[in-house]
Structure 1
């Protein structure tokens, strides 16, 4: 049985999130559900989370506004708010995985397209010591696709950490940065042994494309 994890980004009229804030928030949302008590042990989401992680960890990003967002918020899940300054920080709600044919109708009817965001200004360099998800500069991806890929990269890094290291990251509210690597950086990162997302190629990019590399300082000590 194939499971899918849905992420919904809030996109109101005149209040679109910034690109990088949306990517970072999606990654933090995935980490939030992975670490939630309901996702482990005897938790109510644990069986579904295990079934999803034991197979292809498929993620779909959809968008909602107004009544659509309110209906999505009424479903079991976790909402994570971005850290961008201003009046429109990203809001992403992540939902426990379900079999493909059992996606709740209030999520299934939400559109996947229309999630193309922009950053209002040039981004600063990531803070020293912060985990960074580096995007392949040679690929063109919609914001929704990139959000799913960043969530995947964060999950690969999470799997590599010890329980103590996971607690350390959780205590920092899963602080991380997302940046697009330079071509030279990407070449170096590919030989680093760090977790890398290799996409199945169902949408937007060719099968086997390497999309994001997770550079977590706890993995390079």
Structure 2
């Protein structure tokens, strides 16, 4: 079994066992900015789905908790991921790049992915993203790391996409514009009334308290 073919399980995995890997390029010398990294990870997640919506892993995974694993790679390892997984979806936002892959069993990730670090992913502040018609709003009061915020942003964008209907196609036709807003707790909860998709609440397995409201999408116009 080769890494490029994903993971073949002897038995059908359950929704709880599936995770979508997202690999974020973190350049050692010139890392992208925080908001660029958050946006590109979320975009890679949904581009992987739109690239191959017929993959049977997607509906099973979506029936669960949309589990995602944002892993970081330097330029050398990122190139290996691109070469090893031909079914990847590549996304770019500003100076940031990320790869999204279809869901696979979390306990049987290919070795190349499994050895990439998950925790502690941080990017410098960088330059704020320009306003976009689609904005992922994050609860900045939670103090999430870049990697954690990226996973929550991906949850929010994917949840929006599944119910977006024609708006998703219009967004894709516009070039997948994605903005990021990090708000205080007060402004985050106040703005949730304008959310276009569901408000994401975290399971609390890492970094933050269970049930914490983390992210949502606001769509203005395309």
Instruction: Give the TM bin, normalised by the shorter chain.
Output: 0.7 to 0.9
1:190 maps to 192
Could you tell me which of 177, 180, 184 is aligned with 1:178? 180
Aligned to 1:91, which of 92, 97, 122? 97
Runs of 4+ in 1 over 3 A off after TM superposition: 190-194
Q: State the SS of the aligned residue for 1:9.
A: strand
Are 1:16 and 2:31 an aligned pair? yes
> Once superposed, what is the RMSD of the aligned Cα atoms?
1.8
Equivalent-residue separation in structure 2 for 1:111 and 1:90 (angstroms): 17
Looking at structure 2, the residues matched to 124 and 100 of structure 1 have their Cα atoms a distance apart, in angstroms, of 32
> How far apart, in 2, do the equivalents of 1:148 and 1:197 lie?
11
Question: Would you say 1:70 and 2:73 are equivalent positions?
Answer: no
TM score, norm. by length of structure 1: 0.85
Q: CA deviation at 1:55?
A: 1.4
> Which residue in the other structure is 2:116 paired with?
110
Structure 2 counterpart of 1:79: 90
TM-score with structure 2 length normalisation? Answer: 0.85
What are structure 1's unaligned runs of at least 5 residues?
41-45, 84-88
CA contact (8 A) 2:22 2:101 kept: yes
Q: State whether structure 2 residue 195 is matched by structure 1 residue 203.
A: no
Counterpart CA distance in 2 for 1:80 and 1:193 is 24
Provide the residue aligned with 2:41 in structure 1.
Answer: 26
For residues 54 and 72 of structure 1, the distance between their equivalents in structure 2, rounded to whole angstroms, comes to: 27
Q: Structure 1 pair 137/65, CA: closer, same or farther in 2 (3 Å)?
A: closer
Q: Unaligned regions of 5+ residues in structure 2, if any?
A: 1-13
Alpha-carbon spacing, 1:100–1:124, altered in 2? closer, same or farther (3 Å): closer
Deviation at 1:28, TM superposition (A): 1.2
Number of residue pairs the alignment of both structures matches: 203
Please state whether the residue corresponding to 2:123 is helix, strand or coil.
coil
Structure 1 contact 133–153 (Cα < 8 Å) conserved: yes
For the residue of structure 2 that corresponds to 1:132, the secondary structure is strand
